[in-house]
């Protein structure tokens, strides 16, 4: 589970970086730029969810060792 979470985080970061490079900042809400913008936001959300999962597992581990 730990390795899968890191892999998902890495893929999300790569996807986000790729899509941000495809955004035309002169007209971000037109044609392919809009698709890249939406995909970059979705990848950022996936990274945040994976990060929250990693942090919650660390907190769970700490709580189990203290009790």
Ranges of each domain in the chain:
2-66
Check: pTM over 0.75? Answer yes or no. yes
Tens of pLDDT along 12-44?
999 999 999 999 999 889 989 999 999 999 999
pLDDT of residue 2: 85
> What is the average pLDDT score of the chain?
94
Return the pLDDT at 28: 86
Residue 56 Cα distances to 2, 10, 22, 60, angstroms: 12, 18, 33, 6
Q: Three-state DSSP class for 38?
A: helix
The whole-number pLDDT of residue 67 equals 74
Q: Helices 2-22 and 31-66 sit at what angle, rounded to 10 degrees?
A: 160
Q: Which residues contact 43 (CB under 8 A, 6 or more apart)?
A: 12, 13, 15, 16, 19
Residue 60: per-residue pLDDT: 94
| Euclidean distance between CA atoms 28 and 12, whole angstroms | 21
């Amino acid at each position: 589970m730990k390795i899968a979470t890191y892999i998902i985080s890495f893929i999300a970061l790569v996807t986000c970086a790729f899509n941000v490079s495809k955004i035309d900042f002169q007209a971000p809400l037109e044609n392919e730029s809009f698709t890249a913008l939406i995909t970059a936001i979705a990848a950022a959300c996936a990274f945040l969810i994976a990060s929250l999962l990693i942090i919650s597992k660390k907190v769970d581990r700490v709580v189990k060792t203290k009790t």
